[in-house]
């Protein structure tokens, strides 16, 4: 409902240029603001968390975790209410600052694994892996760039991604993947722990990392986020995945 309402408001506003009617500004502004607020900030779904395996193995640190706040990314849009960002963080690694090549980050190219069994319904892997945005000027650029991506649609926000149907109205999204790294195609059946692709830096991403979430629709633009849990618990912001969450270490 949220996205169609936003589209209807935009169509009503744009329709003034081709149809014989005019909307007063005191109608347009509240309608547009309300529709955008509804899309971005309303839509929390309360459900029992689904127990899944971590989609990565090794020493990964959590950012924007639902264990710290909900919605984890500050918005309900794109089904990311309970999403988590995972960054590979080996001992002694010092994060490069500025606009750096994705390959300079140790997480770039690391395997991304299926968190649960299911059927692949969507694979998008054509977008480039851009340079990092890991300094203040770079982050300001990312904010401006993100506005353009928002205008172009959810696919340009999540970057290269894979969606897996887990059954019972649940879908897993793996986002910001490395270009042309997918090892599966739509229609493939996957098992938990199977490699799906490689970690990348595509879409609205500041550095190579994996964005993982469960949602109730195969397309993020129409989805509401769903909660999940790991065997060792979902780590809070800044915490590492619990050793018992990983079946093996790479």
- Cβ pair 58, 250 in contact under 8 A: yes
Specify if 171 maps to a domain.
yes
Tell whether pTM > 0.85. no
Q: Are residues 101 and 200 in the same domain?
A: yes
- Cβ pair 111, 57 in contact under 8 A: yes
The enclosing domain of 236 has a CATH number of 2.70.70.10
Measuring CA to CA, which residue among 166, 177, 182 is closest to residue 215? 166
What digits encode the pLDDT tens for the residues 183-233? 999 999 999 999 999 999 999 898 999 999 999 999 998 899 999 999 989
Q: Are residues 30 and 147 in the same domain?
A: no
Q: Are residues 10 and 54 in the same domain?
A: no
Specify if 183 maps to a domain.
yes
Residue-level pLDDT at 145: 72
The one-character DSSP state at 238 is: T
Q: Are residues 151 and 95 in the same domain?
A: yes
- Cβ pair 211, 202 in contact under 8 A: no
Q: Are residues 71 and 161 in the same domain?
A: yes
Q: Are residues 82 and 58 in the same domain?
A: yes
Structural domain that includes position 61:
50-245
Q: Are residues 146 and 73 in the same domain?
A: yes
The domain total for the chain is 2
What digits encode the pLDDT tens for the residues 106-162? 999 999 999 999 999 999 999 999 888 877 776 676 677 767 777 777 888 999 999
Specify if 194 maps to a domain.
yes
Specify if 250 maps to a domain.
no
Q: How far apart are CA 147 and CA 152, in angstroms?
A: 9
Taking the CA of residue 144 as centre, how many other CA atoms within 13 Å lie in the half-sphere pointing to its CB?
5
Residue-level pLDDT at 72: 93
């Amino acid at each position: 409902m949220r996205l169609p309402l936003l589209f209807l408001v935009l169509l009503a506003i744009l329709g003034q240029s081709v149809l014989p009617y005019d909307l007063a500004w005191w109608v347009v502004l509240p309608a547009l603001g309300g529709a955008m607020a509804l899309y971005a900030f309303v839509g929390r779904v309360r459900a029992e968390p689904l127990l899944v395996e971590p989609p990565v193995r090794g020493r990964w640190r959590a950012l924007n975790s639902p264990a710290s706040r909900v919605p984890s990314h500050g918005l309900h849009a794109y089904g990311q209410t309970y999403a988590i960002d995972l960054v590979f963080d080996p001992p002694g690694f010092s994060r490069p600052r500025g606009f750096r090549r994705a390959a300079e980050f140790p997480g770039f190219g690391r395997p991304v694994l299926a968190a649960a069994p299911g059927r692949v319904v969507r694979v998008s892997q054509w977008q480039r892996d851009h340079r990092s945005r890991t300094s203040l000027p770079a982050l300001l650029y990312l904010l401006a760039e993100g506005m353009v991506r928002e205008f172009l649609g959810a696919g340009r926000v999540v970057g290269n991604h894979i969606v897996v149907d887990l059954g019972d109205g649940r879908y897993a999204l793996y986002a910001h993947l490395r270009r042309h790294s997918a090892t599966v195609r739509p229609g493939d059946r996957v098992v938990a722990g199977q490699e799906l692709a490689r970690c990348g830096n595509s879409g609205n991403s500041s550095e190579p990392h994996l964005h993982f979430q469960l949602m109730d629709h195969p397309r993020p633009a129409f989805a509401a986020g769903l909660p999940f849990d790991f065997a060792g618990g979902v780590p809070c912001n800044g915490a590492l995945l619990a050793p018992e969450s990983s079946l093996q270490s790479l």
